[in-house]
Amino acid sequence: MEKPQKLLVLINSLGMYDWSLAAKFFLNTQVFAGAVGNGGSERHQNFLNQTRNMEVGSNICNNQMSHGSNTKAIRTVAHFDASTKEFILNSPDFEAAKFWVGNMGKTATHAVVYAQLYTSDGQCHGLHSFVVQIRDPKTLLPMPGVMVGDIGKKLGQNGIDNGFAMFYNVRIPQENLLNSTGDISPSGKYTSRYKDPKQRLGASLGTLSSGRVSIIGMTVVNLKLVVSIAIRFSATRRQFGPTEKEEIPVLEYQLQQWRLIPYLAAAYALDYFSKSFFMNLIELQIGILMKDRSPRQAELGKEIHALSCAGKPLASWTAQHGAQECREACGGHGFLAINRLGDIRNDNDPNCTYEGDNNVLLQQTSNYLLGLFHSIREDNIPCESPLGSTHFLNDFKTILSHKFTARTARECLDCTVPLAAYKWLVCYLLRESNQKLQQERQKATNDFDARNNSQVYYCRSLALAFIEHTILQRYYDYTHDTSTPASLQPVLRKLCTLYGLWSLSKHMAVLYQGGYFTGELPGKIIQDAVLELCAELKDDAVSLVDAIAPPDFILNSPIAKADGELYKNLWSAVLQGEKVLERPSWWAEFCTKKPLIAKL
Ligand SMILES: CCCCCCCCCC(=O)SCCNC(=O)CCNC(=O)[C@H](O)C(C)(C)COP(=O)(O)OP(=O)(O)OC[C@H]1O[C@@H](n2cnc3c(N)ncnc32)[C@H](O)[C@@H]1OP(=O)(O)O
Ligand SMILES: Cc1cc2nc3c(=O)[nH]c(=O)nc-3n(C[C@H](O)[C@H](O)[C@H](O)COP(=O)(O)OP(=O)(O)OC[C@H]3O[C@@H](n4cnc5c(N)ncnc54)[C@H](O)[C@@H]3O)c2cc1C
């Protein structure tokens, strides 16, 4: 608790080496322990101690075979038996089996299970979480009434045993209910400080925010790894040249720079966001520990929820696209498994899905922004979010009257240009999404359809533009802060501007559509500025990668060792491959004892 960043460093260092290893540790000591610590109380301390001492192995168990995103619809039930003071857990059928749960396949001894809580009068009080023992820690055999197994091979992270579990009249002590959102009184009555069931659902799902914030950090690690490999390779790989005698490193090509250097800039900007946002999460968690019930604490929870629900999608997609670009940027050698780009790409992929599907989560962010917009516009309540990410929305009318004023690419090399454009873009998309929602409400018979039909081009774009603005604003402030070493500021500011312009250029159509850009000049000078920054950063690219790459042993990619001896390292790794020079055991069938054609 004195230095919470150490936790982030530990997870990310393990992950740089291997994500399955990191997940095994992380699910146990952070995800499970976090769910117990935040969702429970003093009476659950024992579980935390046992987890910390590695006496038990655990995870959280939310998803079921037929439901993941729609947590409200989870069908596992926990009936309270007042006579024995126990909960009885049941999975109504196999479609309600818990599914995908990490560590569950072979090793979990305990899990935080999400289930619908019923009191003995038959009343359902909604989704709650319970600590359930799954296996005997001494034998790893399932507990009575628990059917548990492994779901099989996945596209990545196969060092993790993802599993399923079903419950048949599994009895657990009443105290195993994690009671921060609701509890059973000694007289058997249900009590909760949340009167509104929607608020209670939000509070019981609050624990998922810390996972989402951590995943942002995990995807940044992947981005750092892939850009390190691709940039080191590109600086040493030579192909073609101005004369027949001289071939140039592929990093000298403008095309290669434009494909890679923006991802390097994204790695720096997202890294800063991830670390600073992690500290915001720590502030929230300290508030929870100290039982802070202030309005500020509640608002902080909402803002962190909104930022993490867009931050995870943006960061995981950036790493996903970056990994593919880096794989191709290394040509054929990028496809050789020992160079690791395939494993990183596949291990990164589920970051887009677990702890909430990216496209589903983005809707949480746009809902939050639309709610604030309504308060500002209709109720004249200024927006004062604790982290300040939405303050600029108070000026939305003035911001919407702005136009793009730069006239040369040189002017665009200042990060205030993309920042101003993003402010306009977020306000514009907010106004348009709100309008679209109103129109759809008039057409549709219910709010559900109206919201669904306002996502594409509106609410989804809004959530992404908002988080890009937040990340850019934070990195801009950092690169202009006096505590940032003056000698580093010039190069970091270039990275910041490049990240801003490159991200902004994906929104060109909307910038023209809404009239912020007019004529061909804005589009052209932004493109020129992106290319100019890539060229200016090219000579620093290897140093910038050296600053974020792990040691060779951890990076574990022969084409990307720090010494730059591309071919020596690759040759040596290939020759050390298993049985590389050996004749195959089936050589005879191949050469002499061939089956006769048409006789098989
Ligand atoms: C190395 C590898 C490491 C591996 C780590 C990966 C481990 C993976 C573990 C898992 O994947 S565990 C399973 C995680 N499952 C999910 O994340 C499911 C995603 N679905 C949800 O979180 C919710 O169901 C969702 C919020 C998307 C939608 O729910 P609803 O449409 O039923 O609820 P609604 O949007 O009406 O939300 C109710 C209120 O709760 C609020 N809320 C929801 N989640 C919250 C949250 N986390 N914090 C604060 N508030 C929250 C929400 O903003 C809203 O507030 P308002 O009433 O003020 O509008
Ligand atoms: C590697 C891995 C590890 C996991 N570990 C765990 C774990 O430890 N514990 C656990 O409980 N769970 C775990 N999960 C499950 C994970 O949390 C869910 O897969 C995730 O929340 C997505 O839910 P889903 O699979 O039900 O997808 P669905 O919600 O069924 O989504 C399917 C598709 O429908 C779309 N969709 C759904 N709803 C909407 C909507 N409202 N609007 C528009 N489109 C929509 C989605 O975008 C998606 O494209 C894990 C998953 C993976 C892949």
Q: Are 365 and 467 in contact (CB under 8 A)?
A: yes
Q: Are 33 and 7 in contact (CB under 8 A)?
A: no
Dist CA 494 CA 374 (whole Å): 37
Query: 209 CA distance to ligand 1 centroid (A)?
Result: 8
Mean pLDDT across the chain, nearest whole number?
Answer: 95
Neighbours of 17 (CB within 10 A): 14
Indicate yes or no: pTM above 0.95. Answer: yes
**Measured from the CA of 60, which atom of ligand 2 is nearest?**
9
pLDDT at 207: 81
Q: For residue 98, is it left (φ>0), alpha (ψ between -120 and 50) or beta?
A: beta
Tell me the mean pLDDT in the region 432-436: 97
In 280-424, the DSSP E strands lie at: none
Ligand nearest to the CA of 353: 2
Q: Which residues line ligand 1 (CB under 6 A)?
A: 19, 22-23, 26-27, 31, 60, 62-63, 68-72, 102, 198, 201-202, 205-206, 208-209, 211, 218, 301, 305, 354-356, 360, 364, 367
Q: Give the model's confidence band at 600: pLDDT under 50 very low, under 70 low, under 90 confident, else very high.
A: low
Distances, alpha carbon 19 to alpha carbons 16, 271, 315, 549, in Å: 7, 18, 16, 16
Active site positions, annotated: 355
Ligand nearest to the CA of 165: 2
Domain over 5-197 is classified CATH 3.40.50.300: no
pLDDT at 38: 86
Q: Is 322 annotated as a binding residue?
A: no
Tell me the mean pLDDT in the region 459-482: 98
Q: Dump pLDDT digits (tens) for 200-238.
A: 888 888 888 999 999 999 999 999 999 999 999 999 999
- What secondary structure letter does DSSP report for 93? S
Dist CA 491 CA 100 (whole Å): 43
Among protein residues, the one whose CA lies closest to atom 1 of ligand 2: 350
Q: Are 575 and 299 in contact (CB under 8 A)?
A: no
What is the SS3 string spanning 159-183? CCCCEEEEECCEEEEHHHECCCCCE
| Residue ranges per structural domain of the chain | 5-197, 209-543
Q: Give every strand in the sheet of 163-167, ordered side by side.
A: 98-101, 163-167, 146-150
Q: Which of 332, 183, 174, 338 is nearest to 250 (CA)?
A: 332
> Which superfamily does CATH assign the domain made up of 209-543 to?
Butyryl-CoA Dehydrogenase, subunit A, domain 3 (1.20.140.10)
Q: Give the model's confidence band at 62: pLDDT under 50 very low, under 70 low, under 90 confident, else very high.
A: confident
